[in-house]
Amino acid sequence: MHQALPYRTWVPTTGGGSSAGLSSATIEPSDGPMNPGVGMKDVTCVTKMVSENAVIVFGRRGCCMCHVVMRLLLGLGVNPTVFEVDEEDEAAVVDELSRVIAGEDAKEGRPQFPAVFMGGQLFGGLERVMATHISGELVPILKKAGALWL
Amino acid sequence: MNSSSTHFVTSRRIGIYEPLHQISTWGESFKTNGCPNTSASTIAELEAKLDNQSEDTSHGTPGPSEKYDQEATKPVDKVQRRLAQNREAARKSRLRKKAYVQELESSRVKLMQLEQELERARQQGLYLGAGLDAGHLGFSGAVNSGIAAFEMEYGHWVEEQSSQICELRTALHAHISDVELRILVETAMNHYFNLFRMKATAAKADVFYMMSGMWKTSAERFFLWIGGFRPSELLKVLVPQLDPLTDQQILDVCNLRQSCQQAEDALTQGMEKLQQILAEAVAAGQLGEGSYIPQLATALEKLEAVVSFVNQADHLRQETLQQMVRILTIRQAARGLLALGEYFQRLRALSSLWATRPREPA
By the CB < 8 Å criterion, does A2 face chain B? Answer: no
List the one residue out of B20, B35, B42, B32 whose CA is nearest residue B92: B20
Q: Which one is predicted more confidently, A15 or B106?
A: B106
Q: How confident is the model at residue B216 (pLDDT cuts 50, 70, 90)?
A: very high
Beta-carbon neighbour count of residue A39 at 10 Å? Answer: 16
How far away is chain A from the Cα of B220, in angstroms, using its nearest Cα?
25
Distance CA B229, CA B317 (A): 8
pLDDT computed for residue B50 by the predictor: 53
Residue A118, φ and ψ in degrees, nearest 5: -130, 130
Q: In whole numbers, what is the pLDDT of chain B averaged over residues?
A: 80
List the one residue out of A78, A82, A73, A75 whose CA is nearest residue A34: A82
By the CB < 8 Å criterion, does A137 face chain B? Answer: no
Q: Is residue B272 pLDDT above 90, yes or no?
A: yes
Rounded (10°) CA dihedral B182, B187, B189, B190: 140
* Residue of A60, A134, A135, A138 to mutate, testing the B interface (most B Cβ within 10 Å of its Cβ): A134
Helix, strand and coil percent figures for chain B, each rounded to 5: 75, 0, 25
| ipTM score for this prediction | 0.73
| pTM for this prediction | 0.66
The string of pLDDT tens digits covering residues B295-311 is 888 888 888 899 999 99
Please tell me the least confidently modeled range out of A7-11, A36-40, B264-268.
Answer: A7-11
The string of pLDDT tens digits covering residues B46-91 is 555 555 554 444 444 444 545 555 555 557 889 999 999 999 999 9
Beta-carbon neighbour count of residue B184 at 10 Å? Answer: 21
Q: How confident is the model at residue A63 (pLDDT cuts 50, 70, 90)?
A: very high
Helices vs. strands in chain B: H and E counts, helices first: 14, 0
Distance CA A93, CA B56 (A): 86
Indicate the length of chain B as a whole number: 362
Please tell me the least confidently modeled range out of A89-98, B20-29, B229-238, B283-292.
Answer: B20-29
The string of pLDDT tens digits covering residues A93-147 is 888 888 888 765 555 567 888 999 998 889 999 999 999 999 999 999 999 998 8
pLDDT computed for residue B10 by the predictor: 45
Q: Is residue A19 pLDDT above 50, yes or no?
A: no
CA distances B7 to B24, B91, B96, B98, B103, Å, are 21, 15, 7, 11, 11
The string of pLDDT tens digits covering residues B261-271 is 999 999 999 99
Please list, residue by residue across B49-65, b when 16 or more beta carbons sit within 10 angstroms of its beta carbon and e when fewer do: ebbeeeeeeeeeebebe
Distance CA A133, CA A139 (A): 7
First vs last C-alpha separation in chain A: 10
CA dihedral sign, ordered B187, B191, B196, B202: positive
Distance CA B238, CA B338 (A): 10
Q: Contact B188/B164 with Cβ under 8 angstroms?
A: yes
* Residue of A68, A84, A126 to mutate, testing the B interface (most B Cβ within 10 Å of its Cβ): A68
Distance CA A117, CA A104 (A): 13
How far away is chain A from the Cα of B277, in angstroms, using its nearest Cα?
9
One-letter amino acid of B323: Q
How far away is chain B from the Cα of A18, in angstroms, using its nearest Cα?
29
A vs B, Cβ pairs < 8 A, gives 62
